[in-house]
Structure 1
Amino acid sequence: MVELLGLLALFVLGAVVWQMRRQSEFANRWLVHYCKRQQFQLLSVYRYRFCMRKGRLLAHFRFEFSHDGVQHNEGDVWLAGVQVVDVSVPVLREDSFGEL
Structure 2
Amino acid sequence: MAELLGLLALFLLGAGVWQLRRQSEFAGRWLQHYCKRQQFQLLSIYRYRFCWRKGRLLAHFRFEFSHDGVQHNEGELWLAGLRVVEVSVPVLREPPGPFEEL
Output aligned runs, 1:8-87, within 5 Å: 8-87=8-87
**2 CA distance for matches of 1:74 and 1:88?**
9
> 4+ residue runs of structure 1 moved beyond 6 angstroms?
none
Structure 1: 5+ residue stretches without partners: none
The letter of the residue matching 1:11 is F
Counterpart in the other structure of 1:3: 3
- Compute the displacement of 1:85 (Å): 0.4
Aligned length: 100
Q: Deviations over 1:3-37 (max 9, x none)?
A: 01000000000000000000000000000000000
- Compute the displacement of 1:99 (Å): 5.2
Counterpart in the other structure of 1:90: 90
Q: Identity across aligned pairs (percent)?
A: 83
Root-mean-square deviation (Å): 1.2
- Compute the displacement of 1:40 (Å): 0.2
Structure 2: 5+ residue stretches without partners: none
**2 CA distance for matches of 1:85 and 1:21?**
18
